[in-house]
């Protein structure tokens, strides 16, 4: 990415900051008819069992699953900030990338605070990450080289962007949540632009093996995200019968739905630097059900 282009992104971030304090109508309480997560993104939508739920159960399912999504974002961004604070130390202060990443950090910290506040507003009780998630999250954050971590971050950004876009476009969504996603999408669009360009440079220099490794890092990051949202406890909380059985059905349904709705942009990105090859394509198909 050209220096002038990054300077332009820095300028927008400085001159047109979106502050969650004033941008989001925190004072508005949810109305009885407000939904929290667009139905299509809930884990049970599309299954017969979904039609047997009462309207309140449907809303509650969306509320709990959305809380899970937001809490996972906040945790992922917190980990990414840890990495970025280490990474910018390797770049001189005057370097345009250093200055851009400082803006990104400022925005990411604001996002985390906003996510916490939104969870509070929803009366949410996020279910903590599993031990495996914690281990992989912290381990990779500490030990993977920068290019791999940026690959991971863009995969999460591109996938979660889909959630934001659905929420922004669904008219019945609780305004606090709609504006939260609005703000997040606008600022993340700049991060994605920067990271995408940075990674194009890395990928252009990468040979077959490195591109294969990049592709796997992205794949595992997506798998990581996908397995954080659907939780058995949520079905218990919503008073759904047979939570064990429903959990299994929901996980399977969500896997399919996720493949159909969330992977378009990331597939296009990986394809742009020939990240699908004989060693990776089968895994994308089998593990993520991606059409590649
Ligand atoms: Fe963010
Ligand atoms: Fe970001």
Whether residue 168 lies inside any domain: the answer is yes
DSSP string, 235-250: HHHTT-S-HHHHHHHH
User: How far apart are the CA of 208 and the centre of ligand 1, in A?
Assistant: 31
pLDDT at 109: 97
Whether residue 121 lies inside any domain: the answer is yes
Whether residue 76 lies inside any domain: the answer is yes
Q: pLDDT truncated to tens, each residue of the chain (292 aa)?
A: 689 999 999 999 999 999 999 999 999 999 998 999 999 999 999 999 999 999 999 999 999 999 999 999 999 999 999 999 999 999 999 999 999 999 999 999 999 999 999 999 999 999 998 899 899 989 888 889 999 999 988 888 888 888 888 888 888 999 999 999 999 999 999 999 999 888 988 898 999 999 999 999 999 999 988 888 899 999 999 999 999 999 999 999 999 999 998 899 999 999 999 999 999 999 999 999 999 9
- What distance lies between CA 141 and its chain's CA centroid? 16
Ligand nearest the Cα atom of residue 20: 1
Ligand nearest the Cα atom of residue 75: 1
**Which residue segment(s) compose the domain that 266 sits in?**
32-288
Q: Measured between alpha carbons, how far is 106 from 248 in angstroms, rounded to an integer?
A: 39
Whether residue 5 lies inside any domain: the answer is no
Ligand nearest the Cα atom of residue 158: 2
Whether residue 23 lies inside any domain: the answer is no
CA distances from 147 to 55, 84, 269, 291 (A): 46, 12, 15, 26
Structure tokens of 44? Answer: 């049970």
Whether residue 103 lies inside any domain: the answer is yes
User: How far apart are the CA of 210 and the centre of ligand 1, in A?
Assistant: 27
Whether residue 145 lies inside any domain: the answer is yes
User: How far apart are the CA of 263 and the centre of ligand 1, in A?
Assistant: 19
pLDDT at 283: 97
User: How far apart are the CA of 206 and the centre of ligand 2, in A?
Assistant: 24
Ligand nearest the Cα atom of residue 157: 2
* 74 touches 88 (CB < 8 A): no
CB-CB neighbours of 233 under 10 Å:
13
Q: Measured between alpha carbons, how far is 120 from 71 in angstroms, rounded to an integer?
A: 11
User: How far apart are the CA of 78 and the centre of ligand 2, in A?
Assistant: 10
Domain count within the chain: 1
Whether residue 7 lies inside any domain: the answer is no
CATH (domain of 229): 1.10.620.20
User: How far apart are the CA of 55 and the centre of ligand 1, in A?
Assistant: 31
pLDDT at 41: 92
């Amino acid at each position: 990415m050209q220096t002038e282009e990054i300077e332009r992104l820095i300028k927008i971030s400085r001159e047109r900051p979106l502050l969650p304090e004033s941008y989001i109508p925190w004072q508005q309480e949810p109305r009885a008819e407000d939904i929290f997560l667009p139905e299509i993104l809930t884990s049970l939508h599309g299954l017969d069992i979904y039609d047997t739920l009462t309207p309140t159960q449907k809303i509650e399912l969306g509320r709990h699953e959305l809380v899970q999504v937001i809490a996972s974002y906040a945790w992922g961004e917190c980990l990414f900030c840890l990495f970025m604070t280490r990474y910018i130390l390797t770049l001189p202060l005057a370097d345009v990338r250093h200055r851009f990443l400082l803006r990104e950090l400022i925005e990411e910290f604001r996002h985390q605070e906003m996510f916490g506040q939104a969870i509070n507003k929803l009366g949410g009780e996020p279910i903590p990450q599993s031990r495996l998630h914690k281990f992989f999250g912290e381990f990779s954050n500490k030990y993977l080289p920068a290019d791999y971590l940026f690959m991971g971050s863009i995969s999460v950004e591109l996938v979660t962007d889909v959630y934001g876009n659905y929420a922004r476009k669904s008219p019945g969504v609780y305004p606090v949540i709609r504006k939260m996603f609005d703000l997040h999408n606008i600022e993340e669009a700049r991060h994605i632009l920067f990271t995408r360009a940075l990674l194009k440079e890395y990928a252009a220099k990468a040979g077959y093996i490195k591109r294969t490794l990049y592709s796997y890092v992205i794949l595992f990051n997506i798998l990581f995200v996908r397995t954080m949202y659907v939780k058995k406890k949520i079905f218990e909380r919503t008073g759904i019968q047979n939570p064990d059985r429903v959990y299994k059905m929901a996980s399977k349904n969500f896997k399919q739905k996720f493949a159909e709705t969330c992977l378009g942009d990331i597939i296009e990105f990986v394809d742009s630097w020939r990240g699908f090859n004989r060693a990776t394509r089968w895994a994308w198909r089998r593990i993520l059900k991606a059409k590649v």
